[in-house]
Amino acid sequence: MEIISDIKAMQNRCLAARDSGQTISFVPTMGFLHEGHLSLLREGRKRGDLLVLSIFVNPTQFGQGEDLDLYPRDFERDEAMARECGVDLLFYPEAEAIYPPGYATYVAVEGPLTTTLEGVCRPTHFRGVTTVVTKLFTIVMPHIALFGRKDFQQLAVITRMTTDLNLPVEIVGMPIIREQDGLAMSSRNVYLSKDVRQQALVLNSTLRQAAEMAQNGESDVEKILTMAGSRLANEADLKIDYVKICNAQSLEEVDTINHESVMLLAVSVGKTRLIDNGNLIS
| C-alpha–C-alpha distance, residues 237 and 196, integer Å | 7
CB of 122 to ligand PAF, least distance (A): 11
CB of 2 to ligand PAF, least distance (A): 20
What's the CA gap between 51 and 56, in Å, rounded? 17
Please list the helix, strand and coil fractions of the chain in percent, rounded to the nearest 5, in that order. Answer: 45, 20, 35
Please state, in angstroms and as integers, the Cα–Cα distance from residue 17 to each residue in 13, 70, 87, 156, following that order. 6, 36, 14, 29
Judge contact between 30 and 148, C-beta under 8 A.
no
CA nearest neighbour of 134 among 150, 145, 118:
145
User: What residues between 15 and 54 interact with ligand PAF by CB under 6 A?
Assistant: 28-30
Q: Which one among 39, 58, 114, 162 touches ligand PAF, defined by CB under 6 A? A: 58
Catalytic-role residue among 37, 125, 143, 259: 37
104 to 163, contacts with ligand PAF by CB under 6 A? 129, 132-133, 151, 154
Q: Is 125 a catalytic residue?
A: no
Report yes or no: 256 and 280 within 8 Å, Cβ to Cβ: no
Taking the complex as a whole, how short is the minimal distance between the CB of residue 132 and ligand PAF, in angstroms?
Answer: 5
Closest C-alpha to 142, from 55, 261, 226, 22: 22
Q: How far is the CB of 150 from ligand PAF (least distance, A)?
A: 9
- By C-alpha distance, which of 59, 63, 60, 188 is closest to 122? 63
User: What's the rounded Cα separation, in Å, for the pair 200 and 184?
Assistant: 10
The phi, psi pair for 123, rounded to 5°, reads -60, -25
- What is the nearest approach in angstroms of ligand PAF to the Cβ of residue 171? 11
Number of residues that bind ligand PAF (CB under 6 A): 10
Catalytic residues: 37
The residues of the shown chain that bind ligand PAF, judged by CB under 6 A, are: 28-30, 58, 61, 129, 132-133, 151, 154
